[in-house]
Amino acid sequence: GDSVTQMEGPVTLSEEAFLTINCTYTATGYPSLFWYVQYPGEGLQLLLKATKADDKGSNKGFEATYRKETTSFHLEKGSVQVSDSAVYFCALTESGGYNKLIFGAGTRLAVHP
């Protein structure tokens, strides 16, 4: 079935460093792809999404491009802040059916001043 694999954390960076969190997927159809962010003690917030190949999702300085040829949706940010410290989840909507979300395991990001 469909699945999502993302890089293990934790990722530890200094403020203003460049961030990449890798995400690859396996899907039989043409899923939509998502990044969600979870701050400590809170639920998941939608960060960005892309619905078809070569689409770029962006929000709050974060970007990710839907790469069908490499089945990837890597999350990037040019200059991270302490406030970006959170857990990031890559996800896709299941092909067909009721479009359930399938999540990666999550990657914890810690940004230090």
Give contact residues for another protein (rule: CB under 8 A).
Answer: 32, 34, 36, 42-46, 49, 51, 89, 93, 98-101, 103-106
The DSSP 8-state label assigned to residue 83 in this structure reads G
Distance in Å, CB of 25 to another protein, minimum: 15
CB of 68 to another protein, least distance (A): 17
CB-CB contact of 92 with 34 (8 Å): yes
Nearest to another protein of 106, 111 (CB atom): 106
What is each CA distance from 19 to 1, 15, 26, in whole angstroms?
30, 10, 23
Rounded Cα gap, residues 61 and 79, in angstroms: 8
- Nearer to another protein (CB atom), residue 49 or residue 74: 49
Please identify, using beta-carbon distances, which residue of 17 and 87 lies nearer to another protein.
87
Nearer to another protein, 71 or 95 (CB): 95
Q: How far apart are CA 72 and CA 112, in angstroms?
A: 28
Cβ 69 to another protein shortest distance, Å: 22
51: left (phi over 0), alpha (psi -120 to 50) or beta: alpha
